[in-house]
Amino acid sequence: MTVATAAAGTNIALVKYWGKRDETLNLPATGSLSLTLDRLGTRTRVAFDGGARGHDRVTLDGAPADAKVAQRVSAFLDRVRARAGISTRASVVTDNSVPTASGLASSASGFAALALAATRAAGLELSPTQLSELARLGSGSAARSIFGGFVEMERGARADGADAVAHALDAAGAPIWEVRLVVAITAAGAKAIGSTAAMQQTARTSPFYPAWVAGVDGDLTAARAAVAGRDLAALGAVAERSALRMHASALAAEPGILYWNPATVAAIARVRALREGPAPIAAFFTIDAGPHVKVLCAAADADRVAAALAGVPGVLRTLIAAPGPGARLVETTETAA
């Protein structure tokens, strides 16, 4: 029996993914563009060892996973089992480098690490592109965490999803663009409505949703060029407008979806003030399906940005993340079954 352990970093989208063209295969309505981080990741160990009492056994951050998480992991493992031609239940032990309940632990690093660990434990060796397609079935954003650094996810056109995969934007071995994402945590506890349900509700009911979809291709073109040209101001401008338009489309859903709290708004104001102050700092915000604010800046400015955000009323703590590698195998061991 093979026991495989994999690690993956989460990623933060600078051009957001918000809505699907196919809910069963998790095919995105648009492409997206992200940065994979060195922190806020997941480490997952998988063994097809029979699980417990005929079920997969899923341990999350040291405790049995709740029914919803366990079910999502099992459904994912079913796809891996089908591909490998096995039916054995598995044991999955997964640990996030941030508490799951903080609202920062993500399905992106979780399903990227699970895709790699589970396929290896099942005796499969998939290419990064194949892993990206598989991870997408667990969570759309997970397709991006297979790759490191700046990553673009393709919308794809095929009905089977084979072309709805991610790829790294920088060539292998290219010098890393030393940007940072400063995360300002503005609330404890899990978010009110998960991204899967929220994007569905937006797509079905928001009059602004078609406008959101129509704008993404232009944002992708601009973001791609900004990454290639290492143009922080251009990338930051795209990131802010993509986040604001995503949230605008969600706000206009029925019922409206509002992820922000007062500290979210205060942090946005602080970032704008940093840019416009007497000693301007190039800092640009983005916000996901939660109240936290993530701020893109140059590595040299990260400490100052973090200090400024830490002083915003309602910001509980800050952390600085750097570009990180794609999903990787940490260890495989062979044991007697």
165 binds ligand DP6 (CB under 6 A): no
Which of residues 3 and 296 has its CB atom nearest to ligand DP6 in the complex?
A: 296
13 binds ligand DP6 (CB under 6 A): yes
CB 24 to ligand DP6: min, Å: 12
Q: Among residue numbers 198 through 227, which ones bind ligand DP6 (CB under 6 A)?
A: none
What track of x and - describes contact with ligand DP6 for positions 107 through 136 (by CB under 6 A)? x-----------------------------
32 binds ligand DP6 (CB under 6 A): yes
Closest CA to 47 of 6, 102, 101: 6
CB 170 to ligand DP6: min, Å: 19
260 binds ligand DP6 (CB under 6 A): no
Stretch that binds ligand DP6, among 9-17, 53-61, 262-270, 273-281 (CB under 6 A): 9-17
93: helix, strand or coil? strand
CB 261 to ligand DP6: min, Å: 16
Q: Is the Cβ–Cβ distance between 20 and 26 less than 8 Å?
A: yes
Pairing of strands 328-334, 166-168: unpaired
- Tell me how far apart the alpha carbons of residues 135 and 158 are, in angstroms, rounded to a whole number: 17
What track of x and - describes contact with ligand DP6 for positions 269 through 298 (by CB under 6 A)? -------------------xx---------
What single string gives the DSSP state of each residue in 134-146? HHHHH-TTHHHHT
Distance (Å) of CA 322 to CA 7, 134, 157: 16, 26, 32
Q: At what angle do helices 128-138 and 107-121 cross, to 10 degrees?
A: 120
Tokens for 314?
């309602």
196 binds ligand DP6 (CB under 6 A): yes
139 binds ligand DP6 (CB under 6 A): yes
- Tell me how far apart the alpha carbons of residues 163 and 136 are, in angstroms, rounded to a whole number: 11
Which of residues 115 and 281 has its CB atom nearest to ligand DP6 in the complex?
A: 115
- Tell me how far apart the alpha carbons of residues 47 and 53 are, in angstroms, rounded to a whole number: 15
- Tell me how far apart the alpha carbons of residues 112 and 135 are, in angstroms, rounded to a whole number: 5
- Pick from 4, 8, 10, 16: which binds ligand DP6 (CB under 6 A)? 16
Let me know the angle formed at the C-alpha of 86 by 83 and 90, rounded to the nearest 5 degrees.
105
Residue at shortest CB range from ligand DP6: 140
Tokens for 225?
């060029």
CB 129 to ligand DP6: min, Å: 18
- Tell me how far apart the alpha carbons of residues 149 and 258 are, in angstroms, rounded to a whole number: 30
- Pick from 3, 7, 8, 17: which binds ligand DP6 (CB under 6 A)? 17
> For residue 154, which phi and psi values (nearest 5 degrees)?
-80, 140
Pairing of strands 57-60, 91-96: parallel
Number of residues located near ligand DP6, criterion CB under 6 A: 14
Which of residues 84 and 319 has its CB atom nearest to ligand DP6 in the complex?
A: 319
What track of x and - describes contact with ligand DP6 for positions 80 through 109 (by CB under 6 A)? ---------------------------x--
240: helix, strand or coil? helix
CB 168 to ligand DP6: min, Å: 16
Q: State the residues that interact with ligand DP6 by CB under 6 A.
A: 13, 16-18, 26, 32, 107, 139-141, 195-196, 288-289
